[in-house]
Amino acid sequence: MTPHRRDAKPHADPLLCDVAIAHASVDQPNTVFAALDAALRSAIGHKLFTILAYDGVTGEAARLYSNLPESYPAGGRKRLAAGPWTEAVLDRGEAYIGRTLDDLATVFSDHALIASLGCASVLNMPVRWRGRTLGSLNLLHEAGWYDDDDVAACRPFAQLALPALLTPAAF
């Protein structure tokens, strides 16, 4: 009897591997965040990409990374208002897709700045740990860009941001 032989071996996703390898760098979290930016630009696409950390106690968000720092600089905090978006993304850990600028306008006070950057859709992907949302990856692009398949594709990348969001430096 011969052992079972697979005809096709599974191959690791090279973009996920790039992000995983970036964790070994001493320059953290910048190296991982830049790797996430590059990987998600290739895998899903975005014009604007930010990473936010959330403090569930204070209800504040801090921007840790932005690929467009002149428009959306890292640093600074803002208090998040309670509502359907915060309940879905922060409380329940569900991804949010806004497909049009009107969708964004109902959720984000900075929708005019978003539009000025040529963006009219968003995918907010929560980063979860032990039942809590610690942050989110935020991808923005032209109207209608994101769909449910992008949620599934983005989830493993979001979880690769987790070590950076667990560190005390995030807040």
Q: pLDDT tens, 68-95?
A: 999 999 997 888 888 899 999 999 999 9
Taking alpha carbons only, the member of 44, 48, 37 closest to residue 160 is: 37
Tell whether pTM > 0.85.
yes
Per residue in 7-64, pLDDT (tens digit) is: 677 788 999 999 999 999 999 999 999 999 999 999 999 999 999 999 988 899 999 9
Altogether, the residues listed in the chain come to a count of 171
Domain around 147: 39-67+83-170
Q: How many structural domains are present in the chain?
A: 1
**Interacting residues of 32 by C-beta distance below 8 A, sequence separation 6+:** 19, 22, 23, 25, 160, 161, 163, 164
Q: Is residue 14 part of a domain?
A: no
Q: What is the CATH number of the domain that holds 102?
A: 3.30.450.40
Radius of gyration over alpha carbons of the chain, in Å? Answer: 17
Q: Is residue 166 part of a domain?
A: yes
Q: DSSP secondary structure string, 113-138?
A: HHHHTT--EEEEEEEEETTEEEEEEE
